[in-house]
Structure 1
């Protein structure tokens, strides 16, 4: 076997190398920023909307860092605070409408 044939033979039997790229699954964690901003501006009963907005921003920061567990915990807290702010604000609005209707009904 000549030197050239030997080089070709060794090139053909070289081990095949492969590259493995691990792509992490991008778990969707809702951060509720828009809902919190709405509650902060329009339904800020007992400042719950503002606190929910703070937790929403924390959740978004945790998501950007890659801490999915922390992002989910902060998003859950923001969701609970948003629900509480929304329910309390709706109850307050309904009570105010009822009070206004009864006071105006007595004047007529």
Structure 2
């Protein structure tokens, strides 16, 4: 119940407590409280997919990412968390691919314009 490295604290919730375990006159009743945190739902990356679709859509990767994001959101609504995780992972990979391709294209354009600008004014 407790994470490794964190010892549980024994604090009596009834009677007097002066900080010593086993002292006469102190209640030895210890009540434990456990909190169960539900797992985080899988991410569908819908905002990133919309940005890739509208602003950077090389080879229609933004459109494919948007479709998989919508499928992931639908699976999450129906309660199929494993399907939502699968579609969300695919959407994330497509978004990464689209972002990297657009970044490389912008870098190539900047380098081409910069080097072309320098060659035009040399001679």
What number of residue pairs does the alignment pair up? 84
Which of 48, 66, 73 is the matching residue for 1:60?
73
Q: Which runs of 4+ in 1 moved over 6 A?
A: none
2:90 is aligned, of 77, 85, 97, to 77
- Structure-1-length-normalised TM-score: 0.74
**Aligned to 2:41, what secondary structure does the other structure show?**
coil
Matched, 1:37 2:50: yes
Alpha-carbon displacement from aligned partner over 1:36-81 (angstroms, at most 9, x marks no partner)? 0001111111111110010000000000011101000000000000
Gaps of 5+ in 1: 1-24
Match of 1:98 in 2: 111
Q: Which structure has more helix as a fraction of its residues?
A: 1
In structure 2, the partner of 1:47 is: 60
**Unaligned runs of at least 5 residues, structure 2:** 1-37
RMSD: 1.1
Question: TM-score w.r.t. structure 2 length?
Answer: 0.65
Aligned partner (choices 101, 104, 111) of residue 88 of structure 1: 101
Which one scores higher on RCO, CA 8 angstroms, separation ≥ 6?
1
Larger radius of gyration: 1
